[in-house]
A = this chain, B = another copy of it.
Amino acid sequence: MLEDAVGLGAVTVLGILEQAYFSLQVIYARRKYSVSPPTTAGPPEFERIFRAQANCSEYFPIFITVLWTAGVFFSQGLSSICGLLYLYGRLCYFWGYSESPQGRLAPLYFSAKVLWVLIGFAAAGVLLSFCRVYLNVDLVETICSGLGLF
Show the binding face of A for B, using Cβ within 8 Å: 1-4, 6, 9-10, 12-13, 15-17, 19-20, 36-38, 40, 44, 47-48, 50-51, 54, 57-58, 60-62, 64-66, 69, 72-73, 101, 104, 119, 122-123, 125-126, 129-130, 133-134
> What residues on B are CB-neighbors of A130 within 8 Å?
6, 10
In terms of DSSP, what is the predominant structure of the interface of chain A? helix
> What residues on B are CB-neighbors of A36 within 8 Å?
101
**Are B3 and A119 in contact (CB-based, < 8 A)?**
no
**Contacts A9-B69, A38-B47, A73-B3: A19 and B101 contacting too (C-beta < 8 A)?**
no
> What residues on B are CB-neighbors of A54 within 8 Å?
58
